């Protein structure tokens, strides 16, 4: 696709709940074990919101962190896109709430939903608005609070998810400096029944008569089918996005996949011939944070100097819808706060609980 302007990512940020829930903690809720969860998923712990935390709050925190990384003010943002499946309310949109909180008074704001692939879809939409010359700075946020939609008596699902928000800042560049090298988006609604949350939709049973049905108001998943879908979807998306970028898989320095399950990530990397040290993961410490997981994984890796800058990265997502997609980006952005970033209160807090 030909764009009038180039785009590049200039910031990444995170918004995380304070509370860490370990696998051991979950053994007090369901019949499971730390060994089972870690072996089958790679997850050791996850962050879960408390009563005062919310999707809007986490998204705002991630936005502020990404703006600080980029060294820019909120009032220079012209578009806020929030990818979420678990907003605080049907409306106002999370994006509008973030827009107000960060003082982006000139910005247009809207939410969009592509489940765990949402951040890839949102990045692509942001690139379109920049590429067409409409906006120069776009804030793209992925946030999910799945803990409010989980059946905490269902061991098949409640062990998998964590809450969190991740954000990117996109900026217009000269065409010659374009760093959003190639994208690939897919959807297949025929698999919609494999992963769904009926809660809050118009088909959700009305609570007025017999009350909500506990088996239908929570996230439902056919884990095995999603697993099979994912191990094929990730390699396809990586190959197609690299082809769109005019490069090959061998030209990628890092793959930053949706953090659902370490076995899915390893199987996909093996199929692509991508080495372990090229795969960016933090599923062990955050679980599956859905639309937030890709920026959160990259945020963790950058903070710990685990990725070299500049580098070529393939961000790749998959999830409910079904949806899947990928974006190949050249990453040159460094944290404008310098050392301040690693000594911030939030960073210290995260380090204390995950290392």
Catalytic residue among 5, 96, 116, 158: 116
Distances (CA, A) of 192 to 116, 217, 225, 261: 13, 16, 11, 20
Residue partners of 60: CB distance under 8 A and separation at least 6: 15, 97, 98, 101, 102
Catalytic residue among 5, 178, 288, 314: 288
d(CA 184, CA 210): 45
Name which of 115 and 172 has its Cβ closer to ligand UT7: 115
Q: Of these, 224, 305, 352, 355, which contacts ligand UT7 (CB under 6 A)?
A: 224
Is residue 235 within the footprint of ligand UT7 (CB under 6 A)? no
Asked if 99 contacts 158 with a C-beta cutoff of 8 angstroms, the reply is no
Which one of the spans 155-163, 178-186, 272-280, 324-332 is the region binding ligand UT7 (CB under 6 A)? 155-163
d(CA 351, CA 299): 12
Q: Which of residues 248-267 bind ligand UT7 (CB under 6 A)?
A: 260-261
Q: Which of residues 33-52 bind ligand UT7 (CB under 6 A)?
A: 36-37, 40-41
Is residue 155 within the footprint of ligand UT7 (CB under 6 A)? yes
Catalytic residue among 96, 258, 261, 314: 258
Active site residue 23: no
Which one of the spans 46-54, 56-64, 222-230, 307-315 is the region binding ligand UT7 (CB under 6 A)? 222-230
Shortest Cβ 123–ligand UT7 spacing (Å)? 17
Name which of 80 and 159 has its Cβ closer to ligand UT7: 159
Active site residue 206: no
d(CA 21, CA 29): 12
DSSP letters for 199-256: TTSTTSPPTTSS---TTTSS-EE-HHHHHHHHHHHHHHHHHHHHHHHT--GGG-SEEE
Name which of 152 and 177 has its Cβ closer to ligand UT7: 152
The token pair at 47 is 């962050």
Name which of 3 and 36 has its Cβ closer to ligand UT7: 36
d(CA 81, CA 142): 9
Name the residue among 104, 1, 62 with its Cα closest to residue 286.
62
Shortest Cβ 175–ligand UT7 spacing (Å)? 35
Name which of 104 and 327 has its Cβ closer to ligand UT7: 327
Q: Which of residues 114-133 bind ligand UT7 (CB under 6 A)?
A: 116
Active site residue 314: no
In three-state form (DSSP H/G/I as H, E/B as E, the rest C), the secondary structure along 286-348 is HCECHHHHHHHHHHHHHHCCCCCCCEEEEEEEEECCCEEEEEEEEECCCCCCCCHHHHCHHHH
Is residue 319 within the footprint of ligand UT7 (CB under 6 A)? yes
SS3 139: strand
The token pair at 77 is 């943002």
- Strand ranges of the sheet holding 180-187, from the earlier edge strand across to the other edge: 180-187, 323-331, 311-319, 254-257
Q: Of these, 103, 106, 227, 271, which contacts ligand UT7 (CB under 6 A)?
A: 227
Residues near ligand UT7 (CB under 6 A) are: 32, 36-37, 40-41, 116, 155-156, 159, 221, 223-224, 226-227, 230, 260-261, 288, 319
| Active site residue ranges | 116, 258, 288
């Amino acid at each position: 696709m030909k764009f009038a302007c180039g785009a590049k990512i200039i910031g990444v940020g995170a918004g995380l709940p304070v509370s860490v829930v370990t696998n051991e903690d979950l053994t007090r809720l369901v019949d499971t074990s730390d060994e089972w969860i870690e072996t089958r998923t790679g997850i050791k712990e996850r962050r879960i919101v408390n009563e005062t935390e919310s999707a809007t709050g986490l998204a705002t925190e991630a936005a502020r962190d990404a703006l600080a990384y980029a060294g820019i003010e909120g009032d220079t943002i012209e578009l806020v896109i929030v990818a979420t499946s678990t907003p605080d309310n049907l409306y106002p949109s999370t994006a509008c709430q973030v827009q107000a909180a960060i003082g982006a008074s000139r910005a247009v704001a809207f939410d969009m939903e592509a489940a765990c692939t949402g951040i890839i879809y949102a990045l692509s939409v942001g690139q379109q608005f920049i590429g067409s010359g409409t906006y120069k700075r776009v804030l793209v946020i992925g946030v999910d609070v799945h803990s409010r939609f989980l059946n905490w008596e269902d061991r098949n699902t409640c062990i998998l998810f964590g809450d969190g928000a991740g954000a990117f800042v996109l900026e217009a560049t000269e065409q010659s400096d374009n760093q959003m090298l190639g994208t690939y988006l897919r959807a297949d609604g025929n698999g919609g029944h494999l992963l769904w949350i009926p809660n809050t939709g118009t088909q959700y049973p009305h609570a007025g008569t017999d009350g909500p049905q506990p088996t239908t108001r929570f996230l439902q998943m056919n884990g095995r089918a999603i697993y099979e879908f994912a191990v094929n979807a990730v390699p396809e998306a990586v190959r197609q996005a690299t082809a769109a970028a005019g490069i090959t898989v061998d030209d990628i320095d890092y793959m930053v996949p949706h953090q659902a399950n370490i076995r899915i990530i390893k199987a996909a990397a093996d199929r692509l011939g991508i080495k372990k040290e090229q795969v960016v993961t933090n599923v062990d410490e955050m679980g599956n944070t859905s639309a937030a997981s890709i920026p959160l994984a990259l945020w963790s890796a950058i903070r710990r100097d685990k990725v070299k800058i500049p580098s070529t990265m393939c961000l790749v997502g998959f999830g409910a819808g079904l949806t899947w997609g990928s974006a190949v980006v050249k990453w040159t952005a460094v944290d404008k706060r310098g050392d301040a970033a690693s000594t911030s209160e939030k960073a210290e807090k995260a380090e204390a609980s995950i290392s």
